[in-house]
Amino acid sequence: MTGLVLHNYFRSSTSVRLRAALNLKGLSFDYVAHHLRKGEQRSADFLALNPQGLVPALVLGDGAVLTQSLAIIEYLDETHPQPPLLPDNALDRARVRALAFAIACEVHPVNNLRVLGYLKSEFGADDRAAAVWFSHWVADTFGPLESMLAADPRTGRFCHGDAPGFADLCLYAQVINNRRFGVDMGPYPTIQRIFDACAAVPAFADAAPERQPDAE
């Protein structure tokens, strides 16, 4: 696969997930930035690529456009199976997906920029109130997630075993977001340990917001 173009934003957690996945697969890509706070994702050109107006979007060499970070990551895993991001065993794949979806479907949707912006514009929430909202929904999922990871012998250095995979991509990106909002990670030692293991892997570290060309 050549000629990949990644439309993303340096701080977007969904973009972080996908950048790390592309890096793990050893796939190079052209980086196109869309500043979410300036509304660049709602430009006519970008909406022609992704009518949802969301990042990331990945344009393949043949012009096909993929959207939704988890769908793109699974596509990459199917088309570039090494290194694998999901286990061979169906039961283990279900576990890994459950861990990933707990973050991607329970935490991220209620804490993304669109939701926080709506809280401020429609309900008068200030920055402190938005941070309280953010921390509440992190805790609502991270408490159970910590237990799920800590109690399961299949948890290794990473969420599932000793190689980074699908769930780690989501965990890593979310914990980066947590830091921006001052979330106390003390109650989540297993999650913090896994995050630290991810951060030591160059594919993850190179996907971090501060290392992107549009970082502010």
pLDDT in tens, 154-211: 999 999 999 999 999 999 999 999 999 999 999 999 999 999 999 999 999 999 999 9
Determine the Cα–Cα distance for residues 136 and 158; give it in Å rounded to an integer.
Answer: 25
Q: Sign (positive/negative) of CA torsion 194, 200, 205, 208?
A: positive
Q: Which residues pair with 65 in a beta bridge?
A: 59
Residue intervals in the chain for CATH 1.20.1050.10: 90-203
Domain 5-83 has CATH 3.40.30.10: yes
Say yes or no: domain 90-203 is CATH 2.10.109.10.
no
Residue range(s) occupied by CATH 3.40.30.10 in the chain? 5-83
Distances (CA, A) of 72 to 119, 137, 148, 186: 29, 25, 26, 32
Distance CA 159, CA 120 (A): 35
**pTM of whole model > 0.75?**
yes
